[in-house]
Amino acid sequence: MYVVRCGVVRLFPVTRRLHELDALRGFAVCGIMLVNTWQHTREQLDAPGRNAVDWAVDNLLQSRFYPIFSFLFGLSFVLFLRSADARTDHPRVVLLRRLAVLACFGLVHQLVNPGEVLLPYAIFGALVLLPASFLPRPAVPVLGLAVTAWAMHEGGGMKLIPGLFLLGMAVMEYPPPEWLLPPFFAVTAALAVGLGYLWIRTLDDSGLFYRGTYPAAGLAAAAAYCTGLLLLLRSRPRGALLAVLAPLGRMALTNYLASTAVILLALPLLTADPTRITGVLLAAGVLALQVVLSRMWLARFRYGPLEWVWRRLTWMEPVPNRRIGSNA
């Protein structure tokens, strides 16, 4: 099945594209769980020092996964707006309600996890993505590149989110051809390695140090991780990867919020291990359990528990969740 919109034939089958988006989102859930476990642990230590785990997380994982989530959020914005446009005469009103519900989740999450991303996502969605939906299509990628470049120059962090939202929105409107995946992966992987090495070498050199190097390395690595995964999803391991990552992605909100509770409860155990290996093992164990539970849940229900609440409050109408034939 292919979709034709605005005279453009989409290059990917609809079902495969959606499964791959779920897998990318699940992959981001894995990385964020590892990084958040590490961050919460270090924040509780008076003099954490640095070891091999710290180096690996800081240079291979930190700032590599929230850009993926941000990009996918912008992409999903377009998908939702198209879906809402087919169901209502006021799709942007429904979209604003969806963002308001997300903001409520974020506010509650902020109480136990200050600095979390759901509330900023909802705010940036309303202030950046919604106005951008009125712009001419060619303006969105240009604006996205400009805002992202400015954010990198300013040191990255939360400043990257609006630009990545816009770039995700632009890629949904202008889907790239599949033949670009291998060269794009090669280029971004080389950039990630080169920029990461440059960052490490210039940390102690005030003459060469540039604060934009680290976010640039993170974005390059995020792009390489995404395109590398998409290449794997077009090869033999596709079925196994989808079976593991797609359920995590389909229940990303539920799994993300649940992981925060697990990390906070496990902090006494995590801070007692100076090697930080306990944190890695905890993250791996929780993710494995979430894969199993997500698969079991989705075998009986269409949406994860919090995803269902989000959808129900967005549309303000009953949303059937139980799958036909399920005894749940």
Q: Supply the pLDDT for residue 238.
A: 74
Q: Is the pLDDT of residue 20 over 50?
A: yes
3-state secondary structure of 271: helix
Rounded to a whole number of angstroms, the CA Rg of the chain reads 20
Q: Is the pLDDT of residue 273 over 70?
A: yes
Between 3 and 81, name the one with better pLDDT: 81
pLDDT bin (cut points 50, 70, 90) of residue 258 is: very high
9 torsion bin: left (phi>0), alpha (psi -120 to 50), beta (else): beta
Give residue-wise pLDDT tens across range 123-180.
999 999 999 999 999 999 999 999 999 999 999 999 999 999 999 999 998 999 989 9
pTM for this model (two decimals): 0.90
Give residue-wise pLDDT tens across range 59-87.
999 999 999 999 999 999 999 999 999 99
Amino acid at 140: V
pLDDT bin (cut points 50, 70, 90) of residue 206 is: confident
Using CA atoms, how far residue 57 sits from 62, 72, 171, 266, in Å, is 6, 22, 29, 19
Four-CA torsion 113, 123, 249, 18, nearest 10 degrees: 180
Q: Supply the pLDDT for residue 259.
A: 96
